[in-house]
Amino acid sequence: MVHHGSLFLRSFIASLVMIMPVIATPTPASPAYQLQQLGSSSSSDDWQKYIRSPSAQIIYPQSIVVNGTLGNVTNADGLLTGHGKTILTRPAPENGSAADSSIPTIIVDFGQNIPGYLSIKFGGAYNSTPGLPGIRLAFSESIQYGYLTDVSDFSRSDNIAVKSYPYTWTDIHGCEYSDQVCADGIHGFRYVKIYMDALDSDAPYTSNYGAVSIDSLSLNISAFLGTPDTFTGWFESSDDKLNQWWYDGVYTNDLCTDVLDANSTDPRNAASPGMLGKLVILDGAKRDRLPYIGDLAVSARTSYLSHDVPEATRNVLADLANHQRADGWIPPASINNYTLLLLDYPLWWIACTYDLFMYTGDTDFVVTYYQTMINVLDDFYPAITDNTTQMITKGIGSSGSYGDYAFINRSGPITYLNALYVIALDNAASMATYLGHRQDAARWSARSMVVAAAINTYNFDSSVGAFFDGSCGDTYCATHAQDGNSLSILSGAANVTRATSALAYLAAHNARFYGNAFYDNDVVAGGYSQRVYTFISYFEIEARFKTGLADSALEEIRRLYGWMEANDPGITMWEGIGQGGQPYEGAFTSLAHGWGTGVVPALTNYVLGVMPQGPGFSIFSVKPIPGDVQWAKGVVPTPHGPIYVAWDSNQAVGLFYLSVSAPTGTKGAVSVPVGNSSVPVYVDNELAWENNGHAYAATYENYADAGYVSVQVEGGDHVITAGYSI
Ligand SMILES: *[C@@H]1O[C@H](CO)[C@@H](O)[C@H](O)[C@H]1NC(C)=O
Ligand SMILES: *[C@@H]1O[C@H](CO)[C@@H](O)[C@H](O)[C@H]1NC(C)=O
Ligand SMILES: *[C@@H]1O[C@H](CO)[C@@H](O)[C@H](O)[C@H]1NC(C)=O
Ligand SMILES: *[C@@H]1O[C@H](CO)[C@@H](O)[C@H](O)[C@H]1NC(C)=O
Ligand SMILES: *[C@@H]1O[C@H](CO)[C@@H](O)[C@H](O)[C@H]1NC(C)=O
Ligand SMILES: *[C@@H]1O[C@H](CO)[C@@H](O)[C@H](O)[C@H]1NC(C)=O
Ligand SMILES: *[C@@H]1O[C@H](CO)[C@@H](O)[C@H](O)[C@H]1NC(C)=O
Ligand SMILES: *[C@@H]1O[C@H](CO)[C@@H](O)[C@H](O)[C@H]1NC(C)=O
Ligand SMILES: *[C@@H]1O[C@H](CO)[C@@H](O)[C@H](O)[C@H]1NC(C)=O
Ligand SMILES: *[C@@H]1O[C@H](CO)[C@@H](O)[C@H](O)[C@H]1NC(C)=O
């Protein structure tokens, strides 16, 4: 891996220095003066204080869990560096069967969720009979599962036969004796329970008594170590919580960015030869530790916007495309020899390929896998399309047996699948256009319009003002899902009237204190109205920004991410949240899942406001949607160089300041919010708009309850102001 972080930072600072002096300073009392303090008022690397990554690859325990110590333990604090030895002692069984409370136990807290290989430095052991004292380990991301007996959460347990002499044991997958006394290898966890015990099946090598001395513990982190010098993009705003969640999201995603290793994936048959030894984005730090296409729709964006490792995404998309089935279907993951049947992930493959193209400019990938895309769109989905409605209809052919990102048992013309089809068709048409395949582009665009119209004709429930989910027999089920409503808006199928109505419906019926549920009720399955998927919630948050409802987008972000931040393990973002705000699948739930990091692209794309509009940001757009955020600044990495944006708002008095520094050769539309079309807008002090366009091809559009003036600029440094000149 090659990182350009520090080089890049220096050039960014240099570019800032170039921008600032050209701005004339208004009188300190004026609102305009206050707006312009942005880039200069705080140091340019202030954002680094939010970074969660440890600074080194080897880390040590932070504390001993207060009520986690049981049995005869001498100096539990000895497991903390520099606190002496810890001794666990358990009497021999001949003195009667030991009660559970006599099992010497210590629970160690590493302070934050993180995957790696644990090492224990043993000072020696004592046992009076043949066999060695057994130490067992149980790992957990959350302390509520940390007290369980042997496996804590989903992690399998580790077993150690402690030698009589001092040595360091490291958690490498494998067994000490043939198939006995086995360790699991990597674990994603925050807490580890260490206790003296032995499996019957490990006899005669271990026994559950004796004395063991431990000098120290350490963890060798196995994940992308996101230290400050590795950041190629960053974000900062007037809202400290939003800032912290942006970096928490990056941290979570970094924990999922690792080299795929046969011993560290989900235990199912998933060690894909095509990805082994390569950098990938896994779904979760604890499990499945396996790459999935759909998850990348969120996690790859987080990755592109924070670190220069596009290969982590590309390696996954390439391997799964290489396993495309003859009928055009693409497996969602390597699990069970590429046979897990999901109906939506081939469409996410197209959306993710489009993102790879737009964020990193990887034309070679699109050219190489162009036929893969044709097979998906022209073979697989037409074969499960109802040719009367033109909608993908689950139930045609063998599609009824397929699952989706949440294994939802639903059927018929599912809104989510068809809206995602519209997105994939449009993305494919855009890629086809760039590659000069005009007929493909025209065919896919035309089909996209037909499917979008069908969604509106057949799937809208006028009685409540939201889209139906799918069918129950001959009629639509009386249920409305977050996924279909959100993607209908993002795909553009829903016009602004329907988008506003559908989002109001979700706010009224799906909002829970820990996020927005993926269903409004339990018609499809019990508990669905209480379950929040961080994955699909991102698309609702996006839909809110896209519809101009910044306040409700930020409100949903604060509810969802505020809940995860406030609950164990803290910092990392969960796979899903269930009834009462608990991990939705109990101990099995991954509490560090890349697909839960949508707060990162949401804030960069909509609050900072930077989006790619052409391959590799060759064309970009900057359109801040501030809500109650007062200012934001940050960098978006592109293959042409960084785009730096800083904006400050005093919309109460109708003023907005935005500076953008984009690489030479790129161009884009910069949009600033204005109260009405008579507000003047200046580009580098030249009047661009006032009641009508004067320069920079300025245009005005109504957008929710605000208006925006857009100007077209070339790469270079520009200052755009609304309501005042500088
Ligand atoms: C330890 O304390 C935590 C919270 O303080 C509590 O939830 C848990 O039940 C306690 N566990 C034991 C084994 O006492
Ligand atoms: C605990 O173990 C130590 C030896 O490691 C021993 O000296 C002590 O007596 C034991 N305490 C109890 C209460 O059994
Ligand atoms: C078992 O109990 C006897 C009598 O109380 C005691 O002398 C002996 O030390 C105990 N053994 C162990 C291993 O604790
Ligand atoms: C994988 O596990 C096997 C035993 O199952 C072990 O021999 C090998 O060293 C492990 N490889 C790694 C990279 O840990
Ligand atoms: C940590 O793990 C890495 C990768 O497995 C290895 O190269 C490195 O030597 C380990 N560091 C220590 C101190 O064991
Ligand atoms: C995986 O599937 C392929 C294609 O069906 C087959 O050739 C191969 O033998 C399978 N591998 C395993 C390990 O089952
Ligand atoms: C719908 O029409 C397309 C194009 O003619 C065809 O490929 C597909 O098989 C048809 N779908 C079904 C379910 O018959
Ligand atoms: C799926 O739902 C149908 C009814 O729509 C029901 O008959 C079937 O048993 C359900 N399948 C599962 C696996 O729950
Ligand atoms: C949105 O679509 C609906 C249904 O086609 C239509 O009634 C409504 O007028 C449209 N709204 C706008 C603003 O176009
Ligand atoms: C337009 O907005 C400006 C700045 O807020 C305000 O001064 C002006 O009165 C508004 N004009 C109209 C027609 O609303």
Judged against a pLDDT cut of 70, whether residue 402 lies above it is answered with yes
Cis peptide before 288 (omega within 30 of 0): yes
Residue nearest to atom 8 of ligand 9 (CA): 497
CA–CA gap between residue 104 and residue 453 (Å, rounded) = 66
Judged against a pLDDT cut of 90, whether residue 77 lies above it is answered with yes
Counting ligands in written order, the one closest to the CA of 322 is 6
Query: Ligand 7 centre and the CA of 411: distance in Å?
Result: 18
Query: What is the model's pLDDT at position 480?
Result: 98
Number of the ligand 2 atom closest to the C-alpha atom of 211: 5
Look-up of token digits 């026994």: 207
Does residue 654 have its Cβ closer than 6 Å to ligand 10? yes
Query: What is the model's pLDDT at position 698?
Result: 98
Query: What is the model's pLDDT at position 644?
Result: 97
Look-up of token digits 């001395």: 213
Which of 69, 70, 72 to mutate for ligand 2's pocket (most ligand atoms within 8 Å of CB)? 72
Query: Ligand 7 centre and the CA of 355: distance in Å?
Result: 29
Number of the ligand 7 atom closest to the C-alpha atom of 397: 13
Does residue 102 have its Cβ closer than 6 Å to ligand 2? no
Query: Ligand 1 centre and the CA of 131: distance in Å?
Result: 34
Q: Which residues contact 124 (CB under 8 A, 6 or more apart)?
A: 163, 164, 165, 166, 212, 213
Query: Ligand 10 centre and the CA of 626: distance in Å?
Result: 19
CA–CA gap between residue 108 and residue 187 (Å, rounded) = 14
Condensed to tens digits (0 to 9), the pLDDT of residues 534-578 reads: 999 999 999 999 999 999 999 999 999 999 999 999 999 999 999
Query: Ligand 7 centre and the CA of 387: distance in Å?
Result: 6
Strand partners, 73: 88
Judged against a pLDDT cut of 80, whether residue 705 lies above it is answered with no
The stretch 705-723 carries a mean pLDDT of 94
Q: Quick one: how many helices (H) and strands (E) in the chain?
A: 18, 36
Query: Ligand 4 centre and the CA of 672: distance in Å?
Result: 56
The stretch 661-687 carries a mean pLDDT of 96
Counting ligands in written order, the one closest to the CA of 262 is 4
Give me the architecture of the 6-53+609-722 domain, per CATH: Sandwich (2.60)
Query: Ligand 10 centre and the CA of 628: distance in Å?
Result: 20
Condensed to tens digits (0 to 9), the pLDDT of residues 603-645 reads: 999 999 999 999 999 999 999 999 999 999 999 999 999 999 9
- pTM value is 0.93
How many percent of the chain have pLDDT more than 90? 84
Condensed to tens digits (0 to 9), the pLDDT of residues 484-536 reads: 999 999 999 999 999 999 999 999 999 999 999 999 999 999 999 999 999 99
Give me the architecture of the 232-604 domain, per CATH: Alpha/alpha barrel (1.50)
Q: DSSP string of 51-112?
A: --S-SSSEE---EE-GGG-BSEEE-GGGGSTTS--EEEEE--GGG-PPPGGGS-EEEEEEEE
Judged against a pLDDT cut of 70, whether residue 585 lies above it is answered with yes
Condensed to tens digits (0 to 9), the pLDDT of residues 459-478 reads: 999 999 999 999 999 999 99
Judged against a pLDDT cut of 70, whether residue 97 lies above it is answered with no
What is the residue extent of each domain of the chain? 6-53+609-722, 58-221, 232-604
Query: Ligand 2 centre and the CA of 72: distance in Å?
Result: 6
Judged against a pLDDT cut of 80, whether residue 425 lies above it is answered with yes
Counting ligands in written order, the one closest to the CA of 65 is 1
Counting ligands in written order, the one closest to the CA of 470 is 8
How many percent of the chain have pLDDT more than 70? 91
CATH pick for 58-221 out of 3.40.50.1000, 2.60.120.260, 3.30.160.270, 1.10.1040.50: 2.60.120.260
Residue nearest to atom 5 of ligand 5 (CA): 222
Number of the ligand 1 atom closest to the C-alpha atom of 147: 13
Does residue 211 have its Cβ closer than 6 Å to ligand 2? yes
Query: What is the model's pLDDT at position 15?
Result: 40
Query: Ligand 4 centre and the CA of 471: distance in Å?
Result: 48
Residue 532 CA: distances (Å) to CA of 156, 295, 535: 27, 15, 9
| Model confidence band, residue 270 (pLDDT cutoffs 50, 70, 90) | confident
Distance in angstroms between the alpha carbons of the first and the last residue of the chain: 44
Condensed to tens digits (0 to 9), the pLDDT of residues 590-603 reads: 999 999 999 999 99
Are domains 58-221 and 232-604 of this chain identical in fold? Answer: no
CA–CA gap between residue 246 and residue 252 (Å, rounded) = 10
Number of the ligand 2 atom closest to the C-alpha atom of 88: 5
Number of the ligand 3 atom closest to the C-alpha atom of 209: 13
Does residue 388 have its Cβ closer than 6 Å to ligand 9? no
Which of 495, 500, 501, 703 to mutate for ligand 9's pocket (most ligand atoms within 8 Å of CB)? 495
Judged against a pLDDT cut of 60, whether residue 109 lies above it is answered with yes
Query: What is the model's pLDDT at position 34?
Result: 58
334: exposed, middle or buried (Cβ count in 10 Å: 0-12, 13-18, 19+): buried
Number of the ligand 7 atom closest to the C-alpha atom of 384: 13
| Model confidence band, residue 41 (pLDDT cutoffs 50, 70, 90) | very low
Does residue 388 have its Cβ closer than 6 Å to ligand 3? no
Query: Ligand 3 centre and the CA of 95: distance in Å?
Result: 6
Residue nearest to atom 3 of ligand 5 (CA): 220
Cis peptide before 615 (omega within 30 of 0): no
| Model confidence band, residue 98 (pLDDT cutoffs 50, 70, 90) | low
CA–CA gap between residue 189 and residue 139 (Å, rounded) = 6
Query: What is the model's pLDDT at position 240?
Result: 98
Counting ligands in written order, the one closest to the CA of 146 is 1
Judged against a pLDDT cut of 70, whether residue 3 lies above it is answered with no
Q: Which residues contact 462 (CB under 8 A, 6 or more apart)?
A: none
Query: What is the model's pLDDT at position 36?
Result: 58
| Model confidence band, residue 157 (pLDDT cutoffs 50, 70, 90) | confident
Asked which of 95-104, 636-645, 655-664 is least confident by mean pLDDT, the reply is 95-104
Does residue 98 have its Cβ closer than 6 Å to ligand 3? no
Does residue 685 have its Cβ closer than 6 Å to ligand 10? no
| Model confidence band, residue 154 (pLDDT cutoffs 50, 70, 90) | low
Number of the ligand 10 atom closest to the C-alpha atom of 676: 1
Which of 656, 679, 690 to mutate for ligand 10's pocket (most ligand atoms within 8 Å of CB)? 679
Query: Ligand 5 centre and the CA of 81: distance in Å?
Result: 19
Judged against a pLDDT cut of 90, whether residue 265 lies above it is answered with no
Query: Ligand 5 centre and the CA of 274: distance in Å?
Result: 24
Does residue 496 have its Cβ closer than 6 Å to ligand 9? yes
| Model confidence band, residue 16 (pLDDT cutoffs 50, 70, 90) | very low
| Model confidence band, residue 130 (pLDDT cutoffs 50, 70, 90) | low
Length of the chain: 726
Judged against a pLDDT cut of 60, whether residue 277 lies above it is answered with yes
Condensed to tens digits (0 to 9), the pLDDT of residues 339-388 reads: 999 999 999 999 999 999 999 999 999 999 999 999 999 999 999 999 99
The stretch 159-180 carries a mean pLDDT of 95
Q: Which of 136, 138, 148, 156 is nearest to 199 (CA)?
A: 136
| Model confidence band, residue 267 (pLDDT cutoffs 50, 70, 90) | low
Which of 117, 119, 170, 172 to mutate for ligand 4's pocket (most ligand atoms within 8 Å of CB)? 172
